[in-house]
């Protein structure tokens, strides 16, 4: 399994390098939280992780059913920001970003992809 301390280090660095990120949760494919960072407002990491895993699972079924290959990411735009879910068969990562992230969404996606790859390389 992935190293908990390494996940914390990687996520903390990503958060500090991307001001628009409001939080990141890393969980296993079953929704068990491996690390959560900064999501506020009384929101429980476990709730976000479970929903992210369900969304990733359903989206993966959709892409496979349409013969489009494996799921890479799910981007959810809302009135006040973004939720970006990335994952593979072992790890799912959900990132929450504020409204300002829309202008630099491409750069944010690249940073989050690098973060997930760094976590998986451990």
Mean predicted confidence (pLDDT) in 43-56:
94
| CATH fold group of domain 4-120 | Beta-Lactamase (3.30.450)
Residue 70 to residue 20: CA distance in whole angstroms? 28
Write down the domain spans for the chain: 4-120
Token pair recorded at residue 112: 């989050």
DSSP calls for 41-81: TT--HHHHHHHHHHHHHHHHHHHHHTT--S--EEEEEETTE
User: What pLDDT does 1 receive?
Assistant: 59
**Residue pLDDT, tens place only, 9-34:** 999 999 999 999 999 999 999 999 99
Is pLDDT at 40 greater than 80 in this prediction?
Answer: no
Q: Please give the residue that has the higher pLDDT: either 36 or 71.
A: 36
**Residue pLDDT, tens place only, 80-93:** 999 999 987 789 99
């Amino acid at each position: 399994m992935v190293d908990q301390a390494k996940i914390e280090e990687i996520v903390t660095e990503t958060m500090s390098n991307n001001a628009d990120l409001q939080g990141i949760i890393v969980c296993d494919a079953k929704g068990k939280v491996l690390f959560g960072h900064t999501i506020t407002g009384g929101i429980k990491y476990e709730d976000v992780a479970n929903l992210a895993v369900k969304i990733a699972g359903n989206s993966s079924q959709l892409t496979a059913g349409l013969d489009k290959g494996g799921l890479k990411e799910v981007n959810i735009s809302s009135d006040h920001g973004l939720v970006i879910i990335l994952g593979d068969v072992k790890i799912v990562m959900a990132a929450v970003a504020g409204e300002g992230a829309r202008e630099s969404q491409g750069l944010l996606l690249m940073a989050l992809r690098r973060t997930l790859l760094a976590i998986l390389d451990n």
